[in-house]
Chains A and B, each alone.
Chain A
């Protein structure tokens, strides 16, 4: 597990996508074995400009524009990582990940285990996820369940620019494969002062966004801000837990919070059935049911394919759905 490093005093105002760029630049400067792999990430700097300027700075052998093949990107990333490189592979949208599922399951997630710990595969897959930006079909997926169900790989999801920088640096430095889910809905909004120097955030540890006594909200990524808005609206003292690492889960922090508040609401954008909320709910049921003063409720996307632009706002949970679920749980009486 990574140890958190403290950052220097100076800060700069960054949004999430710029925090990604700055982290990639710092990690590439720090370690010559860090290479970026993907398509469109060279001269154009990626469709979201996350790698802007990096090919000019580090050259085409470090910022490698590949053929358009997710499975090829992942398969060659694994081969490079097996030979000592530290690869940051970009999958342009989470909805484009499915062709890479073969390499993901067969090699990336399994190489370390199948070699008895003999071969490490330090690959970080950067992948924008989620809806709310009126994008095209297959661009708005939030199917992290497929990833979380897979052993041998970490799934990390930041919720702020500072978290993005610390968690991405920790992911790149880690010897295990990490899927790093970037909440693209908040790529550019909500900039904040981010420490300028290098720092990491610990993996596998949830973050208490705000402490409260009445109800716990378990959430992550782009939904954290909706939980915060909702917490300001409801007549209850809300504790918000930002999971940060979706796999493996920080179960201790989750259970401690629910045991303290006795009430638990879950907020995520992914589909409900077998979404991460199902696992969170099961964990609380198995290990803290006697503390509960209300049933656990989930505010999520629905069990449908991500809908077309005109109606996608009705799919993605927003502050209102977040408020409703928290109110329902906070006010429930057996």
Chain B
């Protein structure tokens, strides 16, 4: 069987928390509560995505792209944001949503393919309980989000607001024209945007070294006059530290930053994919030794913040939380097919009214092609 030959990315990157769980220099976060929140978010996200994987196999959800192995990136980058900031994600940022308090049931109903209007109606978020950071829905077309994110950041510049916009793309997205448009505009307009490249080595079946001949993804920002960083993406401290610097700089008028987080997609691209077909299985062992969750756990144990009992409690808690969320999600009724016409344009039109009637008739078992309102012959 033909697979891609194994290639490991250079480890010439910023690292604060080694694979062994020891700290290089001073840790950027000392607060035990925040570190526990990090740990809990990673445990919760991993368990949540595992549950979604099971639900996909049972046919309850159509497809899921898990963040297994690369949780530290979206977690520690988004943790550097503040209330009122904006996030334009793609589809492997569940830890960021979870960290900022997006109800799990809303993530599940999204995966179940329920129309957004139905979700809003049946799982409303009470006023004042919305996540403090603004999330746009995830984007499937790669690169589209980063251009919009730069526009969002430009709006903050022009309106003189101290808001930061963060967007997430993968290594594959850097091959899209949108990526270049976005970095170019961000540089020209000094937009307060922090662009995170979640370099997980694989864009479905195509490896990172087939996306570019550049030595690193980070260096691409040089072409646009944008400061850049390359960090160990499985290291919450390095990711947080460099992102926090970038976020602070953006908020203070210092413009955009591009950050390459070197990580690895431990599992399939999505549940329709089979990674063993195209990649060398030796990779998995190499990256398993660098797992971001294990690394943080070891550190926290060494610091006396975590022990077996606390871990067991957290694991039990998250299972209960996921159970409840799944139950809530399952209670949302199926979307009314008539919903497909909602929210395309404000107001309505002759064609929209007519097509709604056609579908309604069809759903009622009637023949919508029989003339009904045309007045017959003259």
Which residues of A are interface residues toward B (Cβ below 8 A)? Answer: 1, 35, 61-62, 64, 66-67, 69, 71-72, 75-85, 99, 102-103, 106-107, 112-119, 151-154, 174-176, 204, 248-252, 287-288, 290-291
Contact = CB atoms under 8 A, between A and B. Distances in A.
Interface residues of B, number: 48
Contacts, number: 146
Contacts of B159: 85
Contact of B345 (A77, A79, A116, A176): A176
Max chain B C-beta neighbours (<10 A), residue from A66, A79, A83, A84:
A79
Nearest to A151: B344
B177 A99 contact: yes
A256 to B, nearest CB: 11
B147 A76 contact: yes
B297 interface: no
B165 to A, nearest CB: 8
Contacts of A35: 158
B126 to A, nearest CB: 16
A151 B340 CA distance: 12
Contact of A69 (B181, B347, B354): B181
A117 B139 CA distance: 16
Given A204-B347, A248-B345, A114 B137 contact: yes
Nearest to A121: B148
A69 B184 contact: yes
Contact of A174 (B117, B156, B346, B377): B346
Nearest to A245: B349
Interface in B352-378: 352, 354, 374, 376-378
Interchain residue pairs A-B with the least CB separation, the first 10: A79-B151, A75-B147, A116-B116, A76-B151, A248-B349, A72-B181, A251-B350, A79-B148, A117-B343, A83-B155
B350 A103 contact: no
Max chain B C-beta neighbours (<10 A), residue from A35, A83, A117, A176:
A83
Contact of B147 (A103, A116, A117, A251): A103
A77 B346 contact: no
B39 interface: no
A103 B185 contact: no
Nearest to A119: B136
A82 B350 contact: no
A249 B351 contact: yes
B117 A71 contact: no
Contacts of A152: 344-345
A67 B188 contact: yes
Contacts of A71: 147, 177-178, 181
Contacts of B345: 112, 152-154, 176, 248
Contacts of A107: 139, 144, 148
Max chain B C-beta neighbours (<10 A), residue from A67, A82, A112, A287:
A82
B350 A75 contact: no
Contact of B184 (A72, A113, A118, A204): A72
Contacts of A106: 139, 141, 144
B38 interface: no
Contacts of B139: 106-107
B350 A248 contact: yes
Contact of B158 (A82, A85, A291): A85
21 contacts: A66-B188, A67-B181, A67-B184, A67-B185, A69-B184, A72-B181, A75-B178, A75-B182, A76-B182, A79-B149, A79-B153, A79-B154, A80-B154, A83-B152, A84-B155, A99-B177, A102-B144, A113-B342, A114-B137, A117-B342, A152-B344
Max chain B C-beta neighbours (<10 A), residue from A67, A72, A290:
A72
Max chain B C-beta neighbours (<10 A), residue from A69, A76, A84:
A76
A75 B148 contact: yes
Nearest to A60: B158
B60 to A, nearest CB: 21
Contacts of A76: 147-148, 150-151, 154, 182, 185
A287 to B, nearest CB: 5
B152 A82 contact: yes
B272 to A, nearest CB: 21
Nearest to B188: A67
B93 to A, nearest CB: 17
Nearest to B149: A79
Contacts of B351: 248-249, 251
A64 B88 CA distance: 23
Max chain A C-beta neighbours (<10 A), residue from B88, B165, B343:
B343
Max chain A C-beta neighbours (<10 A), residue from B151, B188, B349:
B151
Contacts of A115: 116, 136-137, 343
B147 A61 contact: no
Contact of A112 (B153, B343, B354): B343
Nearest to A120: B346
Interface in B115-160: 115-117, 119-120, 136-137, 139, 141, 144, 147-156, 158-159
A287 B155 CA distance: 46
